[in-house]
Structure 1
Amino acid sequence: MEIILKEDIIGLGYKNDIVNVKNGYGRNYLIPTGKGVIASAAARKQLAENLKQQAAKIAALKAEAEKKAEAIKDVVLVIPAKVSATGVTYGSVNKATVADELKKKGFDIDRKIITMHDIKKVGNYEATVHFFKEVEVKVPVQVVAENEPAAAPAEEAPKAEEAAPAEAPKAEAAEEAAPAAE
């Protein structure tokens, strides 16, 4: 059964898309709730006319979605979670958690436009944010143990850099002492 969608349905399609669904899904859910109409010849003609009239508005919405996507493109989320000794989280990190973390960073993103699997272990994952029909951004999500210090590797690197310059003057002093001994 072909249906013209009247609103975005994540996992199925976007507004004004013509999608092929099973008869029961279309007849019992999409059409009665107003989320879609049967894609008859008259409905297709009406859709084409509406799209023609709304072309400028759709272009503006797409440009706005691209701006939002550009702003969030380089964001990496680090989410601390309570973790057992085996690395399994107590509870899960889901799209609501990701939306909250994005809100803390200053991005007001609705959790309904985020798709991802629930995360139940420590590690690196990806969440996809669907801003518009062709505008999607993959946001890296890193789940870390809450009580484990995440900044420890970053602190060790400066100590190594400080040690290297301290050794350099000793080497120069040894070179200066060698010609004086001759």
Structure 2
Amino acid sequence: MEIILKQDIKGLGEKDDVVVVKPGYGRNYLIPKGFAALATASAKKVLAENLKQAAFKQDKIKKDAQDIATRLADVKLSIGAKAGESGKIFGAVNTIMIADALKQQGFDVDRRRITFETEPKELGAYVANLNLHKEVKVQVPFEVVAE
């Protein structure tokens, strides 16, 4: 019996895979639980069209991320923070501050996609890693200066 998986099932396949299972397993467990659907000719055509549209959307998202990455290549940020005489920062420089500084430069990047190689705890130069897409990552240098 051929079925189309609606979600990942360990040992069987991933979402949108067409797999062959024993009729009892498919009819009595996978289909009633909503884990799979019967792989009819029309269901296979719908699946192929959905996969084609999803691939098109992913290509567009990746292309947009690459455009942003090329524009971010020559951006340098300056983040102001209160600091003591020794150069140690009071509080912390976080991803929200980086996202706000990028927004002022004209880049709308979600703060959850920003990470630091080393946490900024003193005045100086640091690097922020931006994960724009699972295949597109860019490093943006920034400097923490005293306010």
Class of the TM-score when normalised by the shorter of the 2 chains: 0.5 to 0.7
- Which structure has the larger Rg? 1
The answer for the alignment partner of 1:143 in structure 2 is 144
The answer for the alignment partner of 1:87 in structure 2 is 87
Say whether residues 1:118 and 2:119 are aligned partners. yes
Name stretches of at least 5 consecutive residues in structure 2 with no aligned partner.
1-6, 19-46
Distance 1:86 1:138, change over 3 A: same
- Using CA pairs below 8 Å that are at least 6 residues apart, which structure has the higher relative contact order? 2
User: Aligned partners of 2:10 and 2:127: how far apart in 1?
Assistant: 35
Shift of 1:39: 3.9
Q: If each structure's helix is expressed as a fraction of its own residues, which one has the higher value?
A: 1
**What percent of counterpart residues are identical?**
37
Aligned CA RMSD, in angstroms, stands at 2.4
**How many residues of Structure 1 are paired with residues of Structure 2 in the alignment?**
110
Distance 1:96 1:38, change over 3 A: farther
Secondary structure in 1 matching 2:139: strand
Shift of 1:127: 0.3
Distance 1:124 1:39, change over 3 A: farther
User: Aligned partners of 2:115 and 2:96: how far apart in 1?
Assistant: 10
The answer for the alignment partner of 1:131 in structure 2 is 132
The answer for the alignment partner of 2:100 in structure 1 is 100
Report the TM-score, using the length of structure 1 for normalisation: 0.54
Name stretches of at least 5 consecutive residues in structure 1 with no aligned partner.
1-35, 147-182
Task: Give, as a single letter, the amino acid of the residue that structure 2 aligns with 1:43.
Answer: E
Say whether residues 1:59 and 2:59 are aligned partners. yes
- 1:121-161 deviation per Cα after TM superposition (whole angstroms, max 9, x unaligned): 01110001111111011000111122xxxxxxxxxxxxxxx
User: Aligned partners of 2:132 and 2:60: how far apart in 1?
Assistant: 13
Secondary structure in 2 matching 1:138: strand
Report the TM-score, using the length of structure 2 for normalisation: 0.65
